[in-house]
Amino acid sequence: MQLAQLAVGDSAKVAKITGEGAFRRRLLELGLVPGTVIRRASRAGFGDPIAYEVRGVVLCLRQAEARTVELVTEHEAT
């Protein structure tokens, strides 16, 4: 599952970042490392950007950016 597919209020763990270069590095610096729990907080009126809560901080990403983050849900992990 990709981060962009996460429903409002749902959470999952980061499995991997598929982006490349400086953008991938920036996501890792922001705390999106494998095993980190991320929750979808809200969405802007036109759908972009999307707000996520990571380690108590709200982070906004565009849908295209959120599609580079692969997740594993608790159901998939068991």
The pLDDT tens digits for 45-58 are 777 899 999 999 99
Tell me the C-alpha distance between 15 and 24, whole Å.
14
- The answer for residues whose C-beta is within 8 angstroms of residue 36's C-beta and 6 or more apart is 13, 14, 54, 55
Looking at the 3D structure of the chain, how many domains does it have?
A: 1
The pLDDT tens digits for 11-69 are 999 999 998 899 999 999 999 999 999 999 987 777 789 999 999 999 999 999 999 99
In which domain, by residue range, is 8 found?
3-77
Residue 24's SS3 state is helix
Say what the pTM is. Answer: 0.85
Q: What is the CATH number of the domain that holds 51?
A: 2.30.30.90
10 Å CB burial of residue 8 (0-12, 13-18, 19+) is exposed
